[in-house]
Structure 1
Amino acid sequence: MRLELIRVITLGITGFDAPLLKSGLAEASASLEAVQYVIQPYLSRGAPQADSVTKYLGGCRQFLQEYQDFDSFDRMTFLTQHMLPLQQYVGLLIKELNLQYNTTGGTINYEAGNIFSPDALNLLAFPRAGTQADSALLALGKQLFFEPGLSGNNKVSCATCHNPALHFTDTLTTSLAFDGQAHVRRNAVSLLYAGFQYEQFWDGRAKSIEEQVRTVINDPKEMNGGESTILSLLQHKPTYTRLFKEAFGQQLDTMTLINQVALPIAAYVRSLNPRNSRFDRYMQGDHTTLTAPEVNGFNLFMGKAQCGTCHFAPLFNGLVPPLYNLTELEVLGTTKTDNLDQPEMDADYGRYDIFQIDFYERAFKTPTVRNASATAPYMHNGSFKTLEAVVEFYNKGGAIGLGLDVHNQTLSALPLNLSKEEVNDIVQFLRTLEDSVATYIPEKK
């Protein structure tokens, strides 16, 4: 029952199962009819929340019956006034009847009010997250994140390419390499919400943040560090020996140097989940934080523009609901530049370099669009300078829609027929997803 409600919220009203047919609202209505049938015996038992469940379930079904046009459907009103309260009261009903049963492996926190609550997804259920990181481990991770002594030239730290003041990016098309002159292959994506995914890097080659940290430190083109570099750091800054001991205790004696560094940095990266944007405040009840065009942008994002069929709520990344147990990759046919009048294919084959099967040619992980307004340029190659250009690329149907040959494109090649005003409203909505990152910016010494 809980998963079906999440499915309606995140997939049904977006048209995920049949985006071209635009039958998602009818499917959502059928789903809620089934929910009504299954839950009715429990509602007749006189449970304290039965009246509220009946009220909001009826409201959801009536709203879907009255407003059936997919493109103009007011998803925000449907969610905030009907569906999210229904999810909350169904959760309370289940709890009061002592019928709790979490089949998601703990990924979904059933104590949360609804799927847009900041604690709706359980970070500890994601790869290698383990148990809640204590203050000593997080403090060490934060210090190491800004430590240039982990690099071979004592100049490059994690924060070089993932600057907190820039929402953990560097504003470059592709980041500078270790030598400070050449560039690495791909754009530095923001680390905000990186813990809520199952694969790291644009091609998904790392299965945990720890693996990503180890890879970056050891890569000659990035930090060019390693065990000898870490050993040198410990010799020159002996306070780290004490900090490592405080963080790991007796376990420290059995750990390799690279893991002593990777584990706390990964713990720090997992803590980068602010969820304090204007959109988040709106979804938690402060309906003064968004304007009418921004709300319309959300409705378009989750409907006509089909953004929500790949950037899934609530984190708007490739984390697939309702189980949130898979990180999705897509083939868009991203172009070499954002000149859509003279499009050229980018030469990067993405995940195909890792798994050489046709399915993965030009496949890249779907990043979150949270904080997209602060993290230009965009795409794996940093080829798009503005959000307007990104939305227009989708509006035209990706590479195939632009006339290029991408045999395995997963993005629909049909134009979305978004007007300039609708494109602008979507961009305005994306700006509401920008978090305040003031708490992550270190004080100047």
Structure 2
Amino acid sequence: MRWRVAFPGICVLLLIAVILTSQGERHASLSDGVVAYFKRQQPVFAQKTVLLQQCIEQLHAGDSTSLLAARQALRECRISYKSIAFFLEYFFASEAYVFNAPAKYEIEEPYIEYEEPVGLQQIEALLYDPQVWQHRQELAAQAAVLVQTAQDLNALLYQFSATSPRVMESIQQELVRIMTLYITGYDAPLLKSGIAEAAAAMKAIDTILTPYQDLDKKDSIRYYLQAGIRMLTMQPDFDSFDRLSFLVNYALPLQRLLLNSNYDLFSPAALKTDVFPHNGITGDTALGRRLFFEKALSGNATRSCATCHQPGRYFTDGLVRNRSFVDNKELPRHTPGLLYAGYQYSQFWDGRVQSLEEQVKAVMHSPQEMNANDDTVLQRLRNMPAYGSISLLQVQAALAAYLRTLAPFNSPFDHYMAGNKKALTNEQREGGNLFMGKGLCATCHFAPLFNGLIPPLYNRTEFEVLGAPANDDLAHPLQDEDSGRLAFFPIDFYKGAFKTPTVRNAAVTAPYMHNGAFRNMEQVIDFYDKGGGNGIGLSVSNQTLSAVPLQLTANEKKALIAFMEALTDKDR
């Protein structure tokens, strides 16, 4: 379930590549080359949709051969789509949505417009449903839409024009998709065609850029493209593909060359917090840090932000649920951590406010949390020499500014991605590949922040319905009654939906989930391994997490935990 927002996301990664300025007048034809390439690939893709439609029409109840043929046709269709995805996703997003939308309802906020599941991902979900034979009519309808749309794609080129920088931007965004979506199985978690799809996407980039590359230079765009394609082609198995090696050895060097920069996707400066929601007031970071520990902000001057977000506990409290300010009863939700909180388009588990400034104000005014009265708080602060004639807006801005600094990017994983190949153990490397592969963790916790910001633009915050139980006994689960985002946004699809948090520092910030139900990481992984709420026997009609078991082995689970430990920041 995704919440679409209008803020720009990725910054550094949308620079114009040096190759466009180093080839003189030749780069002027880049747009023409893209159009010619698309004209060659469009009929190939259109034919693949026809073959998929024919296989779907030949499905017969109980006939496993026809089902396997349909799945194979879907795989070939998906791979062919990725040959033109960079072009469609950037220049013709509406048509791209028809082909590759998520297999679940999308909600346009704040307009409450519903977008039904459509396209290749929805066909995958239906073809792998245990009741697949009951979906023949819907499958046929989906295939018909694909065929018609694919056949009409050439009409998009009528009077089409694009500058070379925009073409390069489309390629740069596609490379981010390859690194964060394709090789992680985001598009095809059941078909597991992501490695072959990534190869098709890189081949498309290679074809487009070939006239503008130094073919003889080893450390060149051409070299990394060809080497990356070779690895993707020679190791096509989804579960065993070595993603970390692919990223470090090929994809990230390629990205740096395309950007003519020392930055890449995993550089701390790749995403900047100043593009995320704030009220426009520049806050004093040093003042914010002082206020973070200031108990005068609470109603009876006994509680500060640091009371529940303790720096020594990675800005969490270590409790299942903290206590209410008023009656000392348990709060309804687990206290979330604050590290990397600045990299979100919404705050709180239910995303009920957009900015950190709004979050500060909401927490201060909450009777359960700080129970503050503005006039009383300001009078206290103004009586202290350290604060002078401070205003409430200054308090909000300063605290928010401090929170935006809580992004160390100093874990062993970060050091590994920066080039220190000794920073991770073999088990941690295995766990990283599982996280981005068989475990499907990275299909919701997207690199590099490992939260719910969706690549390649990082301009949407994702909410998911996991079906997390109210207790930690997966053999006897209890239904959780927390309505999640539904209480703030009364739409049935949002029942039990919560923001996807970062899993950076997750290894040291137990307990877990919005309700703190799971005491350790082993329980969390078992929950996902079994398929979420529906997988453990609960009835969660709108669950967005796949209920298909991951079938992780005991050693794989250990490796995943080891990787989580590698996401722990050393200095905070």
TM range (shorter): 0.7 to 0.9
In the alignment, which residue of structure 2 is the partner of 1:97? none
Matches within 5 A, 1:383-398: 383-398=517-532
- Of 236, 251, 255, the residue aligned with 1:83 is 251
Shift of 1:49: 7.6
In the alignment, which residue of structure 2 is the partner of 1:373? 507
2:507 maps to a residue whose letter is S
Q: Does residue 218 in structure 1 map to residue 388 in structure 2?
A: no
TM-score with structure 2 length normalisation?
0.68
2:477 maps to a residue whose letter is P
In the alignment, which residue of structure 1 is the partner of 2:331? 184
In the alignment, which residue of structure 2 is the partner of 1:285? 419
In the alignment, which residue of structure 2 is the partner of 1:105? none
Q: Distance in 2 between matches of 1:299 and 1:437?
A: 25
In the alignment, which residue of structure 2 is the partner of 1:34? 204
Unaligned runs of 5+ residues in structure 1 are: 93-110, 245-256, 439-445
- Of 212, 236, 239, the residue aligned with 2:383 is 236
Q: Is the 8 A contact 1:370 1:430 kept in 2?
A: yes
Which structure shows the higher helix fraction? Answer: 2
In the alignment, which residue of structure 2 is the partner of 1:251? none
Q: Distance in 2 between matches of 1:315 and 1:84?
A: 16
Q: Is the 8 A contact 2:484 2:496 kept in 1?
A: yes
Shift of 1:131: 8.2
2:174 maps to a residue whose letter is E
Q: Does residue 174 in structure 1 map to residue 344 in structure 2?
A: no
In the alignment, which residue of structure 2 is the partner of 1:262? 396
Q: In structure 2, do the counterparts of structure 1 residues 37 and 131 end up closer, same or farther at CA, with 3 Å as the change threshold? A: farther
Partner SS state of residue 328, structure 1? strand
CA deviations over 1:88-128 (Å, ceiling 9, x no partner): 11212xxxxxxxxxxxxxxxxxx552101111112211111
In the alignment, which residue of structure 1 is the partner of 2:58? none
1:61 maps to a residue whose letter is I
Q: Distance in 1 between matches of 2:280 and 2:411?
A: 27
- Of 311, 334, 343, the residue aligned with 2:468 is 334
Q: Distance in 1 between matches of 2:418 and 2:264?
A: 10
Q: Which one has the largest radius of gyration?
A: 2
In the alignment, which residue of structure 2 is the partner of 1:107? none
- Of 479, 491, 502, the residue aligned with 1:345 is 479
Q: Does residue 72 in structure 1 map to residue 240 in structure 2?
A: yes
Q: In structure 2, do the counterparts of structure 1 residues 85 and 51 end up closer, same or farther at CA, with 3 Å as the change threshold? A: closer
Unaligned runs of 5+ residues in structure 2 are: 1-170
Q: Is the 8 A contact 1:112 1:119 kept in 2?
A: no
Shift of 1:345: 1.2
Q: Distance in 2 between matches of 1:259 and 1:131?
A: 8
- Of 521, 528, 533, the residue aligned with 1:399 is 533
Q: Distance in 1 between matches of 2:213 and 2:520?
A: 50
In the alignment, which residue of structure 2 is the partner of 1:124? 274
Q: Does residue 433 in structure 1 map to residue 570 in structure 2?
A: no
Q: In structure 2, do the counterparts of structure 1 residues 60 and 235 end up closer, same or farther at CA, with 3 Å as the change threshold? A: closer
Q: Is the 8 A contact 1:124 1:130 kept in 2?
A: no
In the alignment, which residue of structure 2 is the partner of 1:441? none
In the alignment, which residue of structure 1 is the partner of 2:492? 358
For the aligned residues, what is the CA RMSD? 1.7
Q: Is the 8 A contact 1:164 1:437 kept in 2?
A: no
Partner SS state of residue 340, structure 1? coil
CA deviations over 1:363-420 (Å, ceiling 9, x no partner): 0000000000111000000000101110110000001111111011000000000001
Q: Distance in 2 between matches of 1:49 and 1:222?
A: 60
Q: Is the 8 A contact 2:531 2:545 kept in 1?
A: yes
Partner SS state of residue 241, structure 1? coil
Pairs aligned (count): 402
1:7 maps to a residue whose letter is R
Shift of 1:86: 1.1
2:224 maps to a residue whose letter is Y
Shift of 1:33: 1.1
Q: Distance in 2 between matches of 1:16 and 1:91?
A: 25
In the alignment, which residue of structure 1 is the partner of 2:289? 142
Q: Is the 8 A contact 1:226 1:258 kept in 2?
A: no
Q: Distance in 2 between matches of 1:229 and 1:397?
A: 49
Q: Is the 8 A contact 2:217 2:223 kept in 1?
A: no
Shift of 1:83: 1.0
Q: In structure 2, do the counterparts of structure 1 residues 129 and 232 end up closer, same or farther at CA, with 3 Å as the change threshold? A: closer
Shift of 1:41: 2.2
In the alignment, which residue of structure 2 is the partner of 1:318? 452
Q: Distance in 1 between matches of 2:571 and 2:523?
A: 26
CA deviations over 1:269-327 (Å, ceiling 9, x no partner): 00101011111111101111111111000000000000000000001000110000011
Q: Is the 8 A contact 1:187 1:381 kept in 2?
A: yes
Q: Is the 8 A contact 1:7 1:322 kept in 2?
A: yes
